């Protein structure tokens, strides 16, 4: 089968927004190609990737979102949708220039795999796709993660910051993952020793992808993946919670989350743009949280906080 491959030029901040819009228009899959997601192997970082310089050099200078449609025509509403996105998001989404081409089935399924190799986050986590082999050291906590549709592979700054803070602050007990996406944070908690984890996402597609990744890691008895809106429908208390979502949603979450985390429980919040950081910190203080640590990377930050 041949596919129509659509390529949209955008920014790092706009990549997820454009990707979601293309999925909503009927794309069967998307790929984000962003140099910012690939650490420079010549520079020291908090995490590194097993990837060669030639592959990095082959990536475009700007951010590209590729999408594949089972049609020879670009959806008629594509240009109008892209025109509206900056107004709806309030963000700089770049040029949003569009190009298209025909892609063979094999071209799509194999091409993007070249950009997804095993990589390390923090001191112990290693994320690898199922088709790659990795010789784990005794201290490594390996997460097998096959990206699905528009959900992340773990190399984005927001996910990396979450994993680093989890590595530092998770000390055991039940864990809640709000906005689980690919399920990477829930799987990471299981690798850290959590024996009961609830992973929630409002998107049914994310729930399916996360459940598949949980199964591929052999964690069906530990991680319960469910569709839900933030904490609605939850009846349990947790010792640790993580939410890698947008700042405005975090602010909505702070008060109801207090009913689901034990006293002195730790919460990690990420997906916060730097220009939203102060607003989130004020919200945490107003809701009675104690800020433990703030970490920044690129345009993003993550906050570890404690229930008072």
Same-domain check for residues 102 and 214: no
**Which domain covers residue 65, as residue numbers?**
2-113
Residues 81, 82, 85, 87, CA torsion sign: negative
Of 113, 138, 158, which residue is a domain's last?
A: 113
Q: Tell whether 228 is covered by a domain.
A: yes
Whether 97 and 169 share a structural domain: no
Residue 23 lies in a domain: yes
pLDDT at 57: 58
Predicted confidence at residue 72, as pLDDT, reads 65
Query: What is the pLDDT at residue 46?
Result: 41
Q: List, run by run, the mean pLDDT of 10-residue segments along the chain (308 residues).
A: 86 91 88 70 44 53 86 78 90 91 66 72 87 86 72 73 95 95 93 95 88 94 94 93 93 94 95 94 96 93 92
> Domain with 202 in it: what CATH number?
3.40.50.150
Answer yes or no: do 168 and 240 share one domain: yes
pLDDT, position 49: 41
Instruction: Residue 134: name the closest of 191, 49, 35, 57 by CA.
Output: 49
How much is the pLDDT for 276? 93
Residue 216 and residue 170 share a domain: yes
- Please report the pLDDT score of residue 239 as a whole number: 96
pTM for the whole thing?
A: 0.68
Q: Domain check: are 183 and 259 in the same one?
A: yes
**289-297 sheet: strands from edge to edge:** 223-227, 197-201, 175-178, 238-244, 261-273, 300-307, 289-297
Whether 295 and 157 map to the same domain: the answer is: yes
Residue 47, pLDDT score: 38
Tell whether 168 and 289 lie within a shared domain: yes
The pLDDT of residue 182: 87
Distances (CA, A) of 91 to 18, 33, 227: 12, 19, 28
Residue with tokens 């082999």: 133
Number of domains in the chain: 2
């Amino acid at each position: 089968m041949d596919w129509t491959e659509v390529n949209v030029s955008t920014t790092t901040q706009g990549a997820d927004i454009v990707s979601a819009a293309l999925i909503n228009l009927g794309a069967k899959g998307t790929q984000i190609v962003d140099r910012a997601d690939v650490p420079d192997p010549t520079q020291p970082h908090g995490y590194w990737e097993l990837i060669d310089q030639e592959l990095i050099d082959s990536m475009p200078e700007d951010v590209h979102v590729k999408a594949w449609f089972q049609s020879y025509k670009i959806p008629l509403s594509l240009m109008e949708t892209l025109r509206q996105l900056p107004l709806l998001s309030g963000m700089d989404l770049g040029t949003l220039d569009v190009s298209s081409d025909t892609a063979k089935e094999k071209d799509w399924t194999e091409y993007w795999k070249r950009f997804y190799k095993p990589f390390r986050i923090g001191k112990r986590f290693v994320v690898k796709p199922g088709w790659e082999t990795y010789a784990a050291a005794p201290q490594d906590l390996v997460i097998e993660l096959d990206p699905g549709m528009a959900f992340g592979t773990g190399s984005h700054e927001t996910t990396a910051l979450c994993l680093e803070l989890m590595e530092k602050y998770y000390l055991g007990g039940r864990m809640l993952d709000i906005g689980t996406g690919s399920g990477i944070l829930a799987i990471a908690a299981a690798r850290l020793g959590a024996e009961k984890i609830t992973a929630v996402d409002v998107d049914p597609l994310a729930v399916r992808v996360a459940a598949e990744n949980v199964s591929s890691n052999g964690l069906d008895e530990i991680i319960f993946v469910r569709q839900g809106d933030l904490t609605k429908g939850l009846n349990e208390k947790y010792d640790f919670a993580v939410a890698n979502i947008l700042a405005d949603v975090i602010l909505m979450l702070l008060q109801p989350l207090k009913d689901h985390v034990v006293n002195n429980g730790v919460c990690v919040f990420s997906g916060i743009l730097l220009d939203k950081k102060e607003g989130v910190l004020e919200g945490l203080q107003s809701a009675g949280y104690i800020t433990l640590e703030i970490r920044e990377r690129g345009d993003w930050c993550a906050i570890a906080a404690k229930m008072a």
